[in-house]
Amino acid sequence: MSKHLDRKDAAGLALFCSRDGLVTQVLHDGLGLGELMVPGRPLTTILESGSVDKSRDFLKAIQAEGAVGGWEMDVLADVGIVRLFFLGAHEDDHLAIVGLPTPAPEALTLFLRELLAGRDNGDVAETAVRALLGRKRERERELYPHLTRLNKELESAHRDLARKNRELEKLNEEKTLLLQLAAHELRQPLGAILVYSELLIEQYEAGLADERQEFINAIHSSSESMLRLLDDVVDFSAVESGTLKFVTEPASLVEIVEHSISLKLPLAQKKRIQLVFRQKAPVPPVNVDRWKIEEVFNILIGNAIKHSGEAAVIELRLTVKDDKAVVSVRDNGPEIPPAELEELFAPFQKTRARASADKPLELAIAKRIVDRHEGQIWAKSCDGAGVTLYVSLPFTPIPQPRHLEIS
């Protein structure tokens, strides 16, 4: 072996094998394998067990294609397991095999040239190694037009993808604008219907026939639901498009949850429902947009009230798990099959057990808000009856309040 090879290149291997993978001649042993790599022993003797099957495929590929390269296999050396990049060429009854620590073409060229130095032209090793080098170059020439064409196609695909992404962004902006305009235009007449229906209810509550009273109540209820839906559509589109701004600051989850409970308490009292809040241990402040996270808990508590029966108990818990604050809200409504739990957070979706047609976006909005806080929201069915909704938020210190625009 020539002394001109650097230390990394010298760590390679060069040998000849028979068609069935038995070593017939060792040209260079840069790993000091010694008796592991002597004529008559299988090539697999020097390989780590995970590379044995791959070596058999490697030998078959050499015989089928004439010359192959770039096969990564692990060799059992004295210093431990060494990964080499193997190349091979088929010459008469010999398989010329080279393994190097680097796949760089220039390293292979240097290795083979130095390996040939000082050998007679008639030496079988010289013939096979030159065949390996020649076939390598031939293979590169064959592959070059193909690789060039693939590279151009890839560049063209990237340009097309970038163009389509720009078109989708524009369409999304136009969709958001259309939703906002539609909501704005519809809010005014619906608001007028709501106000007039309230006036009719107050003015003629005692003097109308039952049927007419029901009609006015239906008008009032429907217009109120439509206004809520419009607000939800605007909020959802703002979160989805990234135009909704978040202002994050350290806040007490205890205070946020307690405030949400106080807001929903009148609604719960109408059904004689108890809202019970339990906190197992002190919880550090979390860095959130207080009002948006409060909206999340308003949605969860309102959802629990809606699906729980009369005189039920809704339990809220605040715990700490894996450096995250976890808030759970358990209702007493119908149990949801596990396969349908994910559908709770999809827009305009409802499960077989629970309808959500009157508020089809609220849980979807809650999920988007929690996602923007790098938190998680999920649901689990309770044994017997009820569903528990969970929200986890990470403790991420922020030295002072800052404005964060989601994009």
Q: Show me where the domains of the chain are located.
A: 7-118, 161-241, 245-405
Identify the helix (H) or strand (E) that includes residue 326.
strand 324-330
Residue 400: pLDDT band (50, 70, 90) is very low
Residue 83, amino acid: R
Structurally, what CATH architecture does the domain formed by 161-241 represent? Orthogonal Bundle (1.10)
Q: Which two tokens stand for residue 105?
A: 């073409």
Q: Please state, in angstroms and rounded to a whole number, the distance separating the CA atoms of residues 346 and 304.
A: 17
Tell me the per-residue pLDDT of 305-326, one tens digit each, with 9 for 90 and over: 998 989 999 999 999 988 899 9
Report pLDDT for 225. Answer: 66
Q: Please state, in angstroms and rounded to a whole number, the distance separating the CA atoms of residues 335 and 341.
A: 10
Interior angle at CA 113, CA 110 and CA 117, nearest 5: 135
Tell me the per-residue pLDDT of 147-172, one tens digit each, with 9 for 90 and over: 888 888 899 999 999 888 888 877 77
Closest-CA residue to 283 (of 315, 304, 301, 258): 258
Q: Which two tokens stand for residue 345?
A: 């957070």
pTM for this model (two decimals): 0.48
Report pLDDT for 130. Answer: 60
Residue 10 has pLDDT above 60, yes or no: no
Asked if domains 7-118 and 245-405 share a fold, the reply is: no
Tell me the per-residue pLDDT of 38-48, one tens digit each, with 9 for 90 and over: 899 999 999 99
- CATH code for 7-118? 3.30.450.20
Residue 26, amino acid: V
Residue 390 has pLDDT above 90, yes or no: yes
Name which residue leads in pLDDT, 21 or 120.
Answer: 21
Q: Which two tokens stand for residue 130?
A: 């030159």
The CATH H-level superfamily of 245-405 is Histidine kinase-like ATPase, C-terminal domain (3.30.565.10)
Residue 5 has pLDDT above 60, yes or no: no
* Percent of the chain topping pLDDT 90: 23
- Compute the residue count for the chain: 407
Question: In a 3-state reduction of DSSP, which class is residue 395?
Answer: coil
CA 63 centroid distance within chain: 42
Tell me the per-residue pLDDT of 337-378, one tens digit each, with 9 for 90 and over: 887 887 788 776 666 555 554 456 788 888 988 998 999 999
